[in-house]
Amino acid sequence: MKIKAKVKKDITKVKMLIKHDMETGRRKDQDGNIIPGLYITEVSASHNDQPVFYAEVGQAVSKDPYMAFSFKGGASGDKISITWKDSSGATETGEAAIK
Amino acid sequence: MNKVKWLLYIVLSMTLISSGRLYADIVVKPILEEARATLSKATARDFEWTTTRKLIKEAEAALASGDEDKSLKLAKAALNEAEKSLVQANYAEAHWQDDIPR
Amino acid sequence: MALVKRRLKIKVGAVFFSLLVLCALASADAASDSSPDFKAMVQQDVDAFRTYFKVRFSKVAFAEYKNGVYAIDSASREQWLEMEDFPPYEFAVDEGEELFEMPFANGKTYADCFANGGEGIRQNYPYFDSQQGEVITLELAINKCREANGEKPLAYKKGPLAAISAYMASTSEGNKFAVEVPDEAAYQAYVEGKKFFYSKRGQLNFSCADCHLRVAGQKLRADITSPALGQPTGFPVYRAKWEELGTLHRRYAGCNKNIRAKPLPAQGRAYRNLEYFQSVMSQGLEINGPSSRK
Amino acid sequence: MLVGDDMNLSEKNMKIDRRGFLSNLLKGAACIVTVASLPRLALAAWNEKAFKAETLEGAMSSKYPGLEFVDSSAIKLKAPAIAENGAVVPVGVKTDLPDVKTISLFVEKNPSPLAATFHLTPINVADVSIRIRMGETSNLIAVVESGGKLHRVQQEVKVTIGGCGG
């Protein structure tokens, strides 16, 4: 996962790029078999351990999902932590410092 | 008498030709062979089309399944494409400089 | 001007005559070059190529051509900028860096094969290797490096090789294409590439030049075609269609399929010569690969 | 040899198994615990019914049952008129409406129309963006839940198929 967070005029903009195939469950492989669905369902983010973002998403999100949100406050060097969970229950957490 | 004999010959040979095997050997296969040979010339010059080899394969399949008419049609189409791609290669050789900005 | 004249003639119907005239002109050109100055001949091509686009798209600055179709199509440019803001190929660049730094079984690395440790050198590829008598692209050089160190070559269209190429391009961002045609053998390869570029192919009977020079910027089926000038600068690219990174030769193969011409092998002589010609035409433009495309 | 390694490398990056989850949990224990203990998040679990609905109406009513929609010009929906490629359509939603609780995106003609729901708190600025897939030309609808009302804006996004990609 990649996170870019920047503060400007007291508003922190956080952008994320998550490595995930986002299989919809509608695609077929070379032999014509359906590839089972496996996609991210939830993404949450915190700033210095305080929650600042939560999203529910579905199969319609592109491969290697990109999302961005903004919140008031935040200072250069503060920690942003993002966690996602997919339809199999797998999760990943990534961290970055605000620039 | 002579006329009747000739007529008999003609009828006999027509039945033979139209009876599958022979028809395939005499009419379809040579065209297919020519299509293959022409295509390989175009391929050697990097001018093969994506569609021609498919036509040849389809013609072969039709021949194998005993549909000589369909096979003949496909073989002719394949030969036509192979010839055109070769013409294209020759045209390019002579005219590739036509569109160069000067 | 000559082009306009020619069109008119075709419209009038004197196709045969105009072609004859052109042939005569072309052969006259060739005949007059008794002592060829290859560099000057190539430079003449480069100038004419640039001028063509300068006339076609008078508002587009030369430096902009590194951005492909987005240099000339403002509607798609906006979406492209959104993608480039946090492009999906960043993962591939990281992966490429890791692969680039991973030592071979013999302890050596890619850095040992390339000038300047492989950094900031993308703009010098492809080059003509006078000893081998062939065009060496960056991707070919990467595999040659592997083989020289006892490793298996990588597949040319996508995957690890595309990632390594992307990483090497990323270290060269902003460097200007500096591909040259030093001698007669190189000029032969260059002309082969040029010939490929201008030759009509496939069932649809299109040349590279038909779509990317003559009707560049116009709608062809659902898409606006990109100008040929600067096409190699952004490769490898992450295409939305592929949902992954691919090399220039993968794109060439796709283009050929679109016109129903059987694609030629990636890194085969024909595509390498084509890349050589295109890179020479793009000299002076900045490297900005990898980049994202539709 | 290296070819094999390359594969492993990308697999390693991709595969986040239960064990990986555990170690991630340990690494980010503090944050996950706080996230999980938040009432807002406890309330808002993944709305399976809404995400699996196959019609726009079904998805909307599962997502926002019993609420009425008002067309609103106070929402800025930024999406291309013609998508470069339906696989990646960049979309942004911005609004000055007060007290925004959620922002949802629906693609009318997608097999599952609900694409995403963003839950906002007073600390957030109502400005989100995401890249989504669109199977075909369709209306894209942004819904903003604010002050107990649902504000809606829609725009058509054309998706072309069969181009040669420029």
Q: What is the CATH number of domain C2-86+179-293?
A: 1.10.760.10
Cβ–Cβ under 8 Å, residues C157 and C151:
no
Domain coordinates in residue numbering, chain D = 1-43, 48-161
Residue D128 to residue A8: CA distance in whole angstroms? 16
Domain coordinates in residue numbering, chain A = 2-97
Q: Which residues of D touch C223 (CB under 8 A)?
A: 160, 163-166
C244 Cβ neighbours under 8 A, 6+ residues apart? C92, C158, C238
Domain A2-97 is classified in which CATH homologous superfamily? Immunoglobulins (2.60.40.10)
CA distance B49 to chain C (A): 4
Angstrom distances, CA of residue A18 to CA of A39, C87, C109, D45: 11, 11, 30, 20
- Return the pLDDT at C34: 53
Q: Which residues of C touch A66 (CB under 8 A)?
A: 86, 88
Q: Which residues of A touch D41 (CB under 8 A)?
A: 44, 51, 54
pTM of the model: 0.83
Strand-strand pairing, D75-78 and D124-132: unpaired
pLDDT digits (tens, 9 = 90+) for B16-71: 566 667 777 788 899 999 999 999 999 999 999 999 999 999 999 999 998 989 99
Domain D48-161 is classified in which CATH homologous superfamily? SoxY domain (2.60.40.2470)
DSSP tag of A18:
-
Contact assignment for B81 to C203 by CB distance below 8 Å: yes
pLDDT digits (tens, 9 = 90+) for A65-98: 999 999 999 999 999 999 999 999 999 999 999 9
Angstrom distances, CA of residue A9 to CA of A71, A74, C167, D96: 11, 10, 34, 17
| Residue where the block lists tokens 């054309």 | D158
ipTM: 0.81
- Return the pLDDT at B18: 62
The fraction of chain C above a pLDDT of 90, given in percent, is 82
Intervals of CATH 1.10.760.10 along chain C: 2-86+179-293, 90-170
CA distance B20 to chain C (A): 33
Our answer to whether residue C255 is catalytic in this structure is yes
CA distance D79 to chain C (A): 9
- Return the pLDDT at A41: 94
* Fold of the CATH domain C90-170: Cytochrome Bc1 Complex; Chain D, domain 2 (1.10.760)
**Radius of gyration (C-alpha) of chain A in whole angstroms:** 15
Cβ–Cβ under 8 Å, residues A94 and A8:
no
Residue A18 to residue D131: CA distance in whole angstroms? 12
DSSP tag of C39:
H
Q: Is A36 on the interface with D (CB under 8 A)?
A: no
